[in-house]
Each structure stands twice: as C-alpha cells, then as structure tokens.
Amino acid sequence: MIYLDYNATAPCAPEVVEAMLPCFGTVFGNPASLHPYGRSAALAVRRAAMATAELIGALPEQILFTSCATEGNNHVVRNAPPEGEIVISNAEHASLYSPVRQHGHMRCVAPRIAEILGAVGPKTVLVALNLANHETGELLPEPETLYPILRERGVALHFDATQAVGRIPVDVRRIGCDTMAFSAHKLYGPKGVGVLFVRNPDKFAPLLLGGGQQEGLRAGTLNVPGIVGMGKAAELAMEKGCPSPALRDRFEALIAASGTAHKIVAADRPRLPQTSCILFPGQDGAKLVDLLGEAGVAVSSGSACSGGGPSRILAAQGVDPLYAAGALRFSFGRDTTAEEVDVAARTLLELIANHQHPGVIDVGNY
C-alpha cells in the first residue's frame, strides 16, 4: 500500500515508539506525585516540554500539552471575551471555524493580510488563522506582519499551525503570536496529544478545571507516554529538517505530462512543500479515493476532519463546483519514495482514463 495522506496523519516514527515504551513500564508514575516514580514521570514531561519549545522557538513554560490541536483552538476561542468580535479567514479548519461561529461574533474574510487587518475593528478581540491550509497546502502570506499591528490595537493573535510545524520553519519569535496550536500525530508522533503555545500563561484562563495540573491551565492527569512521544517527535523534526518539494513537483509533473485535464490549487502561490491539491474536472473525488484505495494507493479528497461533502475551502475560493467535486489531496512523507510517486501517478491516470462515464456529477449544496 502506498500511503500519500500524511496531512491526515503520519505513522509514529520507530524512535518515537521506542521513547514512549518506558512510560508503560518503569516510568509509569503520575507526574503530580512527589515520590520517585512521580518525579521520574515529571522529569520526562519536562524534557519533552524543552524539546517541543525548542522546535518552535518558545520557552518550556509557554508549552501547554493538550489532547490535540482541536482542543488548543477551542481553548483559545473560549478565552476570547464573549461580547468581543473574532476575525478569521474563510479557509480555516473546522476546529477553528466551528467554535468561532458558535461564539457568535465572527467576521470571516479572505486569507490575505490587507483584508484581515481591514476587518479588525474596535470590537475585535481575537484574530485566529491557520498558517498552512489543511486541504490546499497554501501558506498564509507574510504572517509576521500581523502581530506588531494587532498588539498595538490590543487584539490577540492565534495561529493554527497544525499543518505547518515540521513542514516549514515555524518560530514564534519571528512570526509573533499570542497563542499557537498543533498536534503530535502530524509530526510522526502519537495521536491524542497536542501542544498549545501560550506567550503569557499568567493571563490565560483554563479550559478544564480540577487538580491544577500544568500550572492550573489544564486540569487532568498528564498523558505522559503521549507527551514523551511529542517531545521525541520534536527532536526528530529538528534533526531531519523540513521536507523538500521534490516529490510533490515530480508527481505534479507526471500529471501535467499526461495531458489529463486538471488544475493544481495554489500552484502560483507559496504552499507546503509536501502537499498537492489537484482538481480533476468532471470527476468524483470521493469515488476516485475509493478506487485508488482498492488499487493500493491511500489519498484524500480533502481534510480527514471535513466529514465529506463539498469543500467549504474551495467554495470560498470561488472554484467551479465541477472542478471542486474532483478534488484530491496528495501529501508526501519522510518514507515516500520516487518510485511510489511514479506508481501513484500512473495508477491515478489509468483510473481516470478507464472511468470516464458521462453524466451528472453530484456537487451537493455547493
């Protein structure tokens, strides 16, 4: 099976699994306990916080371990004053879009700096944006320009960096933000653990109340194995560096050379080096995902969290529904080989050529 859906999740790196194993045996203590078993677990958590902080240019004290980026995004939105307005872009992941919409005071604009700043008004309390789009791979342009301006206006800035960390350089000292969320499982770490960077923890209210863990910001017994896995994944990300666009470019060149009708989303704009979102007009993306799976190639028709249906992201970009219905997302990983890329491209092109059935494509309530 050829796996090309790393934006949905990456497999746990062997080094990560090895680092986690002692947490199920000798280092099993509760890090809140004061005896040696607890102190061993607390030390493991501290080391993971240091590695995670180093990955993004933060301090260990600014690292809050969560269950996932979704929790981090929700935590930030819940910290926004209920009467205040939140500005987001129309390209946000559901884990930001949904809680902001529920908040009730939302302004949604295109993910361009001028429009984002233009939407900030006297009632705005938070601007929340993704650094890299989960479906298209498109990067937020010039994110470092936002923080100085918003800070002067007294507006908090949050980044969802789930798809960005480990794929492009992300340093909170350079880009500037008040909070930033991401997940371990996109970084070859375990599922069920995430990170929320909080620049000023003393000014941040907890989402979960209880025993006062993590300096009172998130109650509940710490997921020590997951946190240790996150720390090791962060170390590996720094060691191996960001991915090259070579495999993505090779794949797209093969599709282009075939003459098959298609459009590459954000091909002329900065985007993630390992993500390719391609639209095949007149095709059914969900059906192609099934056929590719049967042929031994795992890809996506969009975000794994989107729940299916027409893409809100592509609709916001004004993409023709017949093109959007044939959207496929290919995301490449550390273990992807050039041979796998060639086989995947050939398999895809053969499926499209052999399944040209004229008729009406159901694009839903696009």
User: Do the beta carbons of residue 276 and residue 329 sit within 8 Å?
Assistant: yes
How distant, in Å, are the alpha carbons of 143, 153, 201, 261, 281 from that of 326? 30, 42, 44, 11, 6
DSSP state of 270: -
User: Do the beta carbons of residue 330 and residue 275 sit within 8 Å?
Assistant: yes
Which residues is 276 bridged to in the sheet?
330
The amino acid occupying position 68 is C
- Can you read off the two tokens belonging to residue 94? 């559901």
Q: DSSP letter string over 17-56? A: HHHHGGGGTTT-S-TT--SHHHHHHHHHHHHHHHHHHHHH
Q: Which residue has the tokens 């045996």?
A: 25
Q: DSSP letter string over 170-215? A: --HHHH--SEEEEEGGGGT--TT-EEEEES-GGG---SB-SS-TGG
Active site amino acids: 305
- 3-state DSSP call for residue 272? coil
Which residues is 86 bridged to in the sheet?
106, 126
DSSP state of 13: P
| Spatial CB neighbours of 203, under 8 Å, sequence gap ≥ 6 | none
User: Do the beta carbons of residue 300 and residue 328 sit within 8 Å?
Assistant: yes
